Structures are given as C-alpha cells and as structure tokens.
Amino acid sequence: MKTFPMFLRMQDRHVVIVGGGEQAAQKARLMLRTEARLTLIAPDLDPELQGLVREGRATWQPGLATAADLRGAALVFVAQGCPGADAAVHALAREAGALVNVVDAPDLCEAITPSIVDRDPVVVAIGTEGTAPVLARQIKTSVEQMLEPSLGGLAALAGRLRDAAAQRLAPRQRRDLWRWVFDGPARTRHAAGAERDAARLIKEVIASGEVPAPSVAPVALVGAGVGGADMITLRGVRRLQEADVIFHDRLLDPGVMDLARRDAERVYVGKTPGERAWPQEKINGVLVAAARQGKRVVRLKCGDPGVFGRGAEEADALRAAGIDYEIVPGVTAASAAAAAGGGFLTERGVTDTLVLSTGTCRDGATLPDWATHLRPGTTLALYMGVGKLPELEASLARAGVLECCTVEVTERCGFSDQRQFACRAAELQGLARREALRNPAMLLIRNPLEAQQTDAVLRVV
C-alpha cells in the first residue's frame, strides 16, 4: 500500500481550488458535499463556479496563486489544465505545507481523490492509487447497488441512540445490538420506508435491556481454504469480521488475517512438527474458556475443518461444555491441488471413486493400508504423505497396483512457492529424493478404470 486511506474532518477547514474551468468545477462539486470553506483562485471562472460564488458557497480570488494564498489550507486542488502551470502551483503548495491533489498527475499528488459512495454519514471510498480510475468507478457502481439509499439515515439513527445503549447495555450486548440492527428487521423496515417503525423497534430493545439472541453460534470452526486469502468463503469472512478472538493455525496466508475485525484478539495455536506448545487438549480448553467469557470465537484452520483438521475433537469439547458451534467449510487441499494442476478429482470413464486419507496419524497408531482403497477407477488423496513414502510404496506393492498407479504431487498448494510433479507410483520415492519434497504436500494417487488412461493422467501436471 503506497497510500494510506483516511477520512479527514473537513468542518470549517480551508480548501483551495486553483483553476476556473471544468476540472476545477468537478473538484468543487466534490468538496461542496463537505462542510469545508472553499476558495477558488483563477483569473476567470466558468459559469458554474461563478454561480457558486454568487450563492456564497465559495469565495473567489482573481489572479494567480501564491505560496501565501495556500498557507494554512487543509487541502489544495490544482486544476488549471496546463501541466507546467500545475507543476508550478504544486511546488508552491508544498512550500506552504499543504496536501496537494493535481488533477490527472498522480506523481504530483500527496492526496488522491477516491471514488465515493455517499450514504452520509456512511461513506465508502474506493481508490486505486491513481492507477485505474475506471476500475474504481466500476467498484463504486457495485457498492452503490449493495447499499440501500436510506442506509445513511439508519446509521445516523444508530448514532443518536449510542449513548442510550451505552447506559443500558454491557459492551458485548451493545455489539450484539448493532449486529441485530444492521442485519435484522430494523434495517429491513427502515429500507422499506418505515423509519419510525425501525426506530421504535431499536428503542424498545434498548429500553428492555434484552437484545435478541444472535442467529449464529458463539463459536465458528472456519476453514480458510488452501493458499491465498481469496480461497476463504464469504461466510468465513463474515465470521472473521464478527469475531472477538481468533485462534489460528500455521500455514495460513497472512492476508487471511487482514480480513478479520481490526480489534479482534489473535492467538496463534499452530502445531509445528516436533513441538508441543499447543497440544490439542489445550486448544480445546481455550476455545471453551473464551466462549464462556461471552466472546465470539473463530477457530481458523487451513483447508476444511472437517478434513484431517481435528475439527471433530474441538466440536466434541464444545458440545461437552454445552456450547453451540457452527462449521464453516473451506476448500480442502485435495480439491485445490487437483485444480492447480488443471485436473479434477473425479472424471467420468476414468475415476468414479474418491478416497481421502492421511499420512499423519496419532503417535503409535497403525497406518492405514492405503492400497486397499485403490481399486480401478479410484483417486486416493493422501494428505501430508511425503514422510511415509516407503510405507506407501510397500502398501501399493502388496496390493499389486504399484505399476498401474500414477501420482500427482503438489507441495505447498496455493502458495507462491507451490511446486507440482507427476510420475508413476513406482518412481515416487526417486522423485521425492531428487526434488527434496517436503510437507505440506498433497499426493493424488490414481488407479484409472482402464490401463490405457495412465499416460493421459500423467500428462495432467
């Protein structure tokens, strides 16, 4: 991020627009939405700007701008239409210590004008750091369609009632109140034009001190998907934005946490191989403890919480403590690995059965006999299996399928350093040594319905 988005309080602040033509008029229209004091500096003004001066909505200083004219301005727009003259005024404004926006000159802009969705007091600003204004306008159009025209009125009503809510409700109740207001019947009625009815509903809840119970469970076991932050579902993002505390794994893309509520507590509970800092029992305990404190809890896991993510153990602990929970599925590594290679987990005429298994079991547990599942037409998705390649080869050899199976390997699926390979199953250990394969990795072991399909499968990666 080269620019930092921030809203400036403009009440009674001085804003200067240098220029008297259409570009200057565009900036004037924008600033007239605020409560700033507007000064126009130009030898001449177009009819629109002359009208603003006559109405007393702006003052006009004829002539050319000087550094003294710009001193003390909160913001200076330079819109004369001449690159050389604009650059000269930019230098004067910088000398005067003002923030400057030069129209159509991103390199001379300390302040960049965003595309704005105005539902005063709700304001959404969209910026592309001056690189793609057309894209910013397209995003603006989409957001305009998302937000009903009356939303600002509801936000203003909420602002007027904040003190009353603070007097009657505890902090957690207040958060639940405003979630209910903006995601429930009050917003629906307000959007339909029944503003008084919506206000009555909100006031009744505040007066009673009884906020309607949230429609979601206090704990969400959320799958973040595999690799990039854009692999998480919309529901997963909503739960992150509602959470008071997030217990998260290792192997997450850092961008996923950027989607969370800014003031949410973040607790790393990842298990690094060979370390025991966060055994599963401890994770179970902190989930229960946080929920009992009245916090909204997200347990954020890579992939899908229901696929080799120990989600069932955490759910059992919550259920035993009488705490409700929600499971939010994520894109699991098997699906992501197949897609990354341009292929599919199943394919008519080639693979009609899919088996998910793991190469990481509890200490002392007997490993699965993976080859028993590999009948013709089967894809075996083996999670974290790189450390068990000798055992895997022995299993396939005992079942007599070592020579007919192919393997697709995806290491660090979805990340920028992802690697993919394909080979025959009998060649897998040699490939692993040659390429120094390591977990996290997904092995897609395929036994196609017909032997002639083998070469086609090998060409997928």
pLDDT at position 431 over 70: yes
Q: What is the pLDDT of residue 456?
A: 47
State the pLDDT confidence band at 253, using cuts at 50, 70 and 90.
confident
Q: Chain-wide mean pLDDT for the chain?
A: 91
Answer whether residue 134 is part of any domain.
no
Neighbour count for residue 106 (Cβ, 10 Å): 13
Quick one: 306 exposed, middle or buried, by C-beta within 10 A (0-12, 13-18, 19+)? middle
Active site residue 455: no
State the pLDDT confidence band at 139, using cuts at 50, 70 and 90.
very high
Q: What is the pLDDT of residue 460?
A: 46
For strands 245-248 and 297-301, give the pairing: parallel
What is the tally of helices (H) and strands (E) in the chain? 17, 17
245 touches 222 (CB < 8 A): no
Mean pLDDT of 386-397: 93
197 shares a domain with 274: no
**CATH number of the structural domain spanning residue 247:** 3.40.1010.10
Domain boundary among 61, 86, 113: 113
pLDDT at position 206 over 60: yes
Tokens matching residue 201: 């509903």
Q: What is the C-alpha to C-alpha distance for residues 451 and 461, in angstroms, rounded to an integer?
A: 18
Mean pLDDT of 255-279: 80
* Residue-number span of the structural domain to which 59 is assigned: 14-113
Mean pLDDT of 233-247: 92
Give 433-443 pLDDT, tens digit per residue. 999 999 999 99
Answer whether residue 63 is part of any domain.
yes
**Paired residues of 412 in beta bridges:** none
Mean pLDDT of 273-289: 82
Q: What is the C-alpha to C-alpha distance for residues 450 and 376, in angstroms, rounded to an integer?
A: 7
Query: Cα separations (Å) of 78 from 3, 35, 89, 244, 287?
Result: 19, 20, 7, 44, 55
Q: What is the pLDDT of residue 317?
A: 96
Domain count, the chain: 4
One-letter amino acid of 157 = L
Q: Which of 255, 265, 262 is nearest to 415 (CA)?
A: 255
Active site residue 271: yes
pLDDT at position 449 over 90: no
365 shares a domain with 322: no
Mean pLDDT of 8-37: 94
68 — alpha (psi -120 to 50), left (phi > 0) or beta? alpha
State the pLDDT confidence band at 278, using cuts at 50, 70 and 90.
confident
**CATH number of the structural domain spanning residue 63:** 3.40.50.720
Tokens matching residue 378: 């089967």
Q: What is the pLDDT of residue 452?
A: 45
Catalytic site residue from 140, 203, 271, 295 = 271
Answer whether residue 27 is part of any domain.
yes
Catalytic site residue from 86, 176, 249, 253 = 249
Answer whether residue 25 is part of any domain.
yes
pLDDT at position 146 over 80: yes
163 shares a domain with 84: no
Give 397-412 pLDDT, tens digit per residue. 999 999 999 999 999 9
Give 335-382 pLDDT, tens digit per residue. 999 999 999 999 998 999 999 999 887 777 788 889 999 999 999 999
Least confident of 90-104, 206-220, 342-356: 206-220
Q: What is the pLDDT of residue 68?
A: 92
